[in-house]
A and B are shown apart, each in its own frame.
Chain A
Amino acid sequence: MADEGEYIKATNDTVFSSEFNGSIGKIVVVEAGENLTGGNTVYFKQSDGKAYKSDTGTADDIRADGIIFNSPTSGNDGYVITRGLYQTTGLTANTDYYLGAAGALSATPSGVRIGHATSTTELYLNIIQDDKDKVGTVKAYLKDFTGIPANNMTAFWVECAGQSLSDAESPLNGQTIPDLNADAGADQRFLRGNTASGGTGGADSHSHGISTGSSLGCTGQFQPAGSTGGASSLPPYYEVVWIMKVK
């Protein structure tokens, strides 16, 4: 007989009112991709469908799908609650919890909000993370604005830095991401609309050729010739980091 708050229930087990109101229907049985410990925040890897430990310490682990109840070793099934009431201990009541390091929960904001502690023992899971945009979305990000939380960018996005993407979970795996953010010169890009994406053009500066007018009978020393000096082509701008949704 499973105790109150203990899962998975078997046939004829008692369902407790706390479970009924808060937890039922939110539990996924999933194979552990690595050894996991009860209470770990975990995510489901898109390429192999297994559960792995979430972790703000590793960029690709900054994401979450739920919290695991049991402690399966790699290859065994885990029980993951994805939403609703999760019973634990040591929470601070009336506090939002975020993903912390190595599967832990933390009251320090990060890019993944896990849920809301209504008491020291009850966490209402409602995971909010930046994972809804379609793959290929490009958006502006104020990476360096003061107050932006650490570990704020989730595993679903990469900076558009011209790098080769190595990510088996992404349909863009192995491709070169557009270089929109290069530090200096030509590859700091503005975005421009077109019916097809990917074309490039423009320049940071320009000059003009000079047409020589008709002669008045003398060829003056002061007649402009050749081309003008160069000048900037840049409109007023604010620098952002362009990021792209890759999975």
Chain B
Amino acid sequence: MALPDNDGTDTVDANDINSECGNLLLVEAGENLTAGNAVYIHLTDGKAYISDTGTAADIRANGIALATVNSGDDVNVITRGLYTTSGLTGNTTYYLGAAGAISTTRSGVRIGYAESTTSLYIDIDQDDEAVVGTIKAYLKDFTNIPANNFNAFWNECDGAVFNDSESPLDGQTLPDLNGSVATQRFLRGNAASGGTGGAASHSHSLNTGSGDGISCPPKSTPPANTGSASNYPKYYEVVWIIKTK
């Protein structure tokens, strides 16, 4: 049967029961949507918008829109289970692509698995579970990390003012953990977060020993301090990123 069944008279068949029941979300469109668009639900206004790898804040998804609607109209979004369409490659995993499309090219949002050329089993997998305020290491520049891999829920710890009305951290300056040499930070535990310290290098004072009373040439006066040396333990550079919403 076609979904949604809103007249109470359609026949429920095996496909419906096995894969589609309970996965439809009826939600207001925040912009014009086209049937087949991958969409996400905006956390602030609760409306559906087109997912898009072309815009950092749009790299996320909650489902696929089943109808073409104008902004302000309601649309059914299938969030999980069997989605019937056309033009798929069977036995292939699909990811979010540009402008609401799904793509076999990897990105940061896995949409589902194509069982055949017409059946996509939606099971969205994206990095959105960690609590806000989680910091983790990311190998942003490792060879073959997919393009558009970094989804809308995370931000680099770049010391910049963070503007995002969906985030409880909106308007604040994020910690600068990845910046210039002075702010390339190691993470250290404490019972409270946010303190800073340490230095890239250090030197030592020298103790003057006792002598036996025999004068030495003036140039034998030792320096007050040693030369400078690094404080760095062995390290591997990562990009620290923070969960912001």
Contacts of A146 in B (CB 8 A): 169, 172
CB-contact partner of A130 in B25, B131, B242, under 8 A: B131
Whether the Cβ atoms of A220 and B211 lie closer than 8 Å is yes
Tell me the smallest distance from the CB of A59 to a CB of chain B, in Å: 13
Q: How many A-B residue pairs have CB under 8 A?
A: 280
| Pairwise interchain contact A94-B135, C-beta atoms closer than 8 A | no
- Is A238 a contact partner of B187 (Cβ separation < 8 A)? yes
Chain B, interface size category, equals 35 or more
The reply to whether A232 and B231 contact each other, CB–CB distance below 8 Å, is yes
* In the complex, B54 has a CB within 8 A of chain A: no
Residue of A25, A109, A131, A187 with most partner-chain B CB within 10 A: A25
- Kindly provide the distance from the CB of B157 to the nearest chain A CB, expressed in whole angstroms: 8
Q: Which of B82-90, B98-106, B112-120, B195-203 contacts A (4 or more CB under 8 A)?
A: B195-203
* Nearest Cβ on chain B to A15's Cβ, whole angstroms: 7
Contact B208 A224 (CB under 8 A): yes
* Chain A at the B interface: SS class: loop
Contact A25 B22, beta carbon cutoff 8 Å: yes
Contacts of A94 in B (CB 8 A): 28, 45-47
B132 within 8 A of A: yes
Query: Which of A44-52, A71-79, A168-176, A178-186 is the interface stretch?
Result: A178-186
Q: Quick check: is B170 within 8 A (CB to CB) of the other chain?
A: yes
Q: Which residue of A lies closest to B30 (CB)?
A: A94
Residue of B132, B172, B175, B190 touching A149 (CB-CB under 8 A)? B132
Contact of B204 among A157, A188, A220, A230 (CB under 8 A): A230
Contact (A235, B200) CB under 8 Å given A95-B46, A142-B242, A191-B187 = yes
Q: Does A117 touch B at the CB level, under 8 Å? A: yes
- Report whether A235 and B233 are in contact in the complex, using a CB–CB cutoff of 8 Å: yes
User: Which of B8, B198, B204 interacts with A208 by CB under 8 Å?
Assistant: B204
A101-124 contact mask (Cβ, 8 Å, vs B): 1 or 0: 000000001010000111000101
Which residues in window 18-67 of A have CB below 8 A to B?
20-26
Q: A189-B189, A220-B216 are known contacts. Are A239 and B206 too (CB-CB below 8 A)?
A: no
1/0 contact string of B132-161 vs chain A (CB within 8 Å): 111110000000000000000000000000
* Complex interface: chain B residues within 8 A of A199 (CB): none
Closest to A238 in B: B185
Query: Which of A160, A181, A228 touches B226 (beta carbons < 8 Å)?
Result: A228
Q: Answer whether residue A132 sits at the interface, using C-beta atoms and an 8 A cutoff.
A: yes
* In the complex, A229 has a CB within 8 A of chain B: yes
Q: Which of A96, A182, A208 contacts B191 (CB 8 A)?
A: A182
Q: Given A17-B7, A238-B175, verify A142-B196 contact (CB < 8 Å).
A: no
**Can you name 25 A-B pairs with beta carbons within 8 Å?**
A21-B5, A84-B23, A109-B132, A118-B26, A124-B25, A128-B128, A130-B134, A132-B129, A149-B168, A189-B189, A190-B189, A193-B236, A207-B204, A216-B220, A219-B211, A219-B214, A221-B208, A222-B221, A224-B222, A236-B182, A236-B196, A236-B197, A237-B186, A238-B177, A240-B190
